[in-house]
Structures are given as structure tokens and as C-alpha cells.
Amino acid sequence: MSSWPHDPRPARPYPHTSPHQAPHQAPHQASHQASHPAPRQSPHRATAAYVTLAGADWLASASPFPQSVHALWCDQPSAPVVLPCGTAFDVISAPALFGRRLLDRLWSAGPGSGPVAAQRGRLLLFAAPGTAQRLPALLAWEEWSRAVPPLLCHGKGDAVTAPALYPPGDEEPTAPVSRWLVAPEVRHPWLPGPEVLLWACVRAAREGTTDESAGGGGIEAAPFATPTPAPL
């Protein structure tokens, strides 16, 4: 488990918009971007902190009534929405600091991550369906499992609140309780499975224990590198 042996992700697409644009574009803007594509990003850097049109389609596909989800977003694009897990995705919720360490491992030494959101002091990692059921069982067999803080695994029969499509403007009186750190960009995003997240959890736990031995104060107190500039 010293390094990730290969990269199973498909090639990342060009970003559809910039972080300063709303996800709904006028036709002339879309045609301009098609003829002048943005430079390809590094494969170990997240490229969006807001949802693209294709990403919104993917999120809505988790609902048995995707048209209703789209109708809600048309009326209130800055509103969060509750989506069921178990079909399009599962969600693994980790304490914020361990989650940041986990995310850093996925991007710096692993295959990257799927969409990730920050919500009320926790990180929500969107994972492949079935991950919520298998990951706890895999962790139970790991010698480092006691160094992993409690993870909340949301799968079939559960639901999560997804952040708004894009961050509110600076004129908003209060900061949102949830926001995207790595937002959905494509209609069929690559999602980490239980084995990938197990590898990242063990790496993050081992590093946290090493920091504690060196006087860093434990897993949750150690410094970490972030794969995206978006704050919690």
C-alpha cells in the first residue's frame, strides 16, 4: 500500500466553464468555448467547485423524478436538494480534517476522487454504488482501522443533501452550510469504489499516527494539503 499502482480514471474533460461563471450559459458562450477549448488541467488537480450542466444531469439521475429536480433548480438554482443514494452514487462522510487528508491522498498518490462536498464540519465523498455497504467490512479487517475516525456510509435507502449548483454571490448575508469542493462536471463521473477508499483511509490513518508520534497532536490536528483551493 505504499503507492497507487495505476490510474483507472478516464481522461478528464476540458472544463465547461470557469469558477466565476454560472452553470447556465448562453449559446454564443458555449460555441466560443467549443472553438477555443481551455488548456487541459493536471490530472491530479480538481477543476471545478461548481456544477456544470452535465454534472447537474448526473445528480438529478439519482432521483426517481429527475425532471422535478431540474424544475426545482430552474426556480431556485442556489437551493440545496435532497437526493437518494444507492443508484447513481453512495456517499462516504468523514470528519473534515481527516477527510481533507483522505482527499489529499486520493489526488497526490492515488487515482483522484469523484465529486466531493463540504457540509457542517464533514466532507462528503461521492463513491460508486455499493461502497457504503462494503467499505465498513473492509475496514474491519484492517490493522489501521482503529486510527480511522468514524465514517458515515450512506447507501441504498439513505439520502443526502447535495449543495447548490454553484456558490452564492458575495452579497449573500451568510455563508452556505454546504458547498462543492470537487463538483460534478460530466454526465458519468468516475467514482472511487470501496477498495480505493480503503487504500486512502489506511494511508491517511498511517500518516496521522506518524504525526501524532512526532508530537503533531493526532490525526485530526496534523496539517494537510488540499487538492482544491475551495475553503470549507
40-50 pLDDT, tens digit per residue, is 333 334 446 68
Residue 20 lies in a domain: no
CA proximity to 185, closest of 21, 50, 32: 50
Query: What is the number of other CB atoms lying within 10 angstroms of the CB of residue 224?
Result: 18
Residue 59 lies in a domain: yes
pLDDT tens digits, 73-84 = 999 888 899 999
pLDDT of residue 82: 95
Query: What is the number of other CB atoms lying within 10 angstroms of the CB of residue 163?
Result: 26
pLDDT tens digits, 139-158 = 999 888 889 999 999 999 99
Place of cell 488540499: 226
End-to-end CA distance of the chain: 29
Helix, strand, or coil (residue 205)? helix
CA proximity to 160, closest of 120, 101, 107, 106: 120
Residue 91 lies in a domain: yes
pLDDT of residue 166: 78
Where are the extended beta strands (E) located within the chain? 81-84, 90-95, 116-119, 122-127, 152-154, 159-162, 178-182
CA proximity to 162, closest of 59, 49, 54, 17: 59
Q: Does residue 159 surpass a pLDDT of 90?
A: yes
Where are the extended beta strands (E) located within 46-176? 81-84, 90-95, 116-119, 122-127, 152-154, 159-162
Q: Does residue 161 surpass a pLDDT of 60?
A: yes
Residue 22 lies in a domain: no
pLDDT of residue 204: 93
Secondary structure element (H or E) that encloses residue 204, with its range: helix 194-213
Looking at residue 14, the DSSP 8-state letter turns out to be P
Task: For residue 188, give its domain range.
Answer: 46-221
Contact 110, 7 (CB under 8 A): no
Whole-prediction pTM value?
0.72
- At 164, list the grid cell: 447548490
Phi, psi of 208 (to 5 degrees): -65, -40
Contact 117, 180 (CB under 8 A): yes
Residue 15 lies in a domain: no
Residue 186 lies in a domain: yes
pLDDT tens digits, 78-130 = 889 999 999 999 999 999 999 999 999 999 999 999 999 999 999 999 999 99
CA proximity to 192, closest of 113, 93, 79: 113
How many domains does the chain divide into? 1
